């Protein structure tokens, strides 16, 4: 199926590894041009060696002025923006008991603030192209996890903003949706597994709770969902939360 993404310009935050990296690869494979916005210079390695159509932009996403500046740089480079994929963020374990009010507020900014910053500065350009926004959420915002109040609050805000922006941007024909992963096989997830005395046993215990095929979701499966929501193949879809998690969030995890 042709997703009609060729030569369109997409901004991907946090594109250096994991889900963001997979999104960049999928979009470039579809012929899109990609602007990677990340704080890590290693992000340039994200793009495939053949047929590169993207460019890396280094920015501190926790800073509103930095987000404004990087969006200006993207427009100077590409001339347009057809879609924004808000992806950057990390589970920082700022809990109710273990954290502090200051750390909680910082977590909100680190994990949700830049979603607003980037969307705000991209909006004038998205109006011109009738572009799209896809926000990457987390199943923790609907299931809870424990000891991660800041991250969960931020991800809950992201889901609410997805619905709010979908309504606000209706007059401009800008669609806004969210993709919600659960347990995804990324380098960050692998690092978490290694924190246990028996990583393989921990992986087995998690995998058996995922109803569909009892395995972790692949980053590419998240990326495929993002590409679909960016494309005109989902032209009448907005304000939706798409769970790509093998049924982890909504199906009975006792199913074998």
What positions carry a catalytic annotation?
151
Distance CA 153, CA 243 (A): 18
Distance CA 47, CA 103 (A): 34
Among 76, 74, 107, CA closest to 89: 107
Q: Does the CA dihedral 26-29-32-36 come out positive or negative?
A: positive
What is d(CA 6, CA 87) in angstroms, rounded to the nearest whole number? 21
What are the residues whose beta carbons fall under 8 Å from the beta carbon of 250, sequence distance 6 or more? 243
| Contact between 32 and 84 (Cβ < 8 Å) | no
34, containing H or E segment? strand 33-38
CB within 8 Å of 141: residues ≥ 6 apart: 152, 155, 156, 158, 159, 180
Asked if residues 244 and 181 have their Cβ atoms less than 8 Å apart, the reply is: yes
The DSSP symbol for 125 reads H
Which residues are within 8 A (CB) of 181 and not within 5 positions of it... i.e. 6 or more apart?
Answer: 19, 136, 137, 138, 139, 217, 222, 244, 245
CA distance between the termini of the chain: 33
């Amino acid at each position: 199926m042709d997703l009609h993404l060729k030569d369109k310009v997409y901004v991907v935050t946090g594109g250096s590894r994991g889900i963001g990296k997979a999104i960049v690869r999928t979009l470039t494979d579809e012929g899109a041009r990609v602007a990677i916005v990340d704080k890590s210079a290693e992000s340039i390695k994200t793009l495939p060696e053949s047929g590169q159509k993207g460019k890396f932009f280094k920015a501190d996403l926790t800073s509103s002025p930095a987000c404004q500046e990087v969006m200006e740089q993207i427009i100077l480079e590409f001339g347009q923006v057809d879609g924004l994929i808000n992806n950057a963020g990390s589970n920082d374990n700022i809990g109710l008991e273990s954290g502090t009010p200051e750390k909680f507020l910082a977590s909100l900014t680190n994990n949700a603030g830049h979603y607003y910053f980037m969307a705000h500065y991209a909006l004038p350009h998205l109006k011109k192209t009738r572009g799209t926004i896809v926000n990457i959420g987390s199943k923790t915002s609907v299931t809870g996890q424990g000891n991660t109040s800041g991250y969960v609050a931020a991800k809950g805000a992201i889901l609410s903003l997805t619905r709010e922006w979908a309504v606000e941007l209706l007059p401009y024909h800008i669609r806004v949706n969210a993709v919600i992963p659960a347990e995804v096989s990324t380098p960050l997830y692998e690092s978490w597994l290694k924190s246990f005395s028996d990583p393989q046993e921990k992986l087995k215990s998690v995998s058996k709770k995922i109803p569909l095929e009892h395995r972790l979701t692949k980053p590419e499966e998240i990326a495929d969902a993002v590409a679909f929501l960016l494309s005109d193949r989902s032209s009448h879809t907005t304000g939706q939360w798409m769970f790509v998690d093998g049924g982890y969030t909504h199906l009975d995890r006792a199913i074998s």
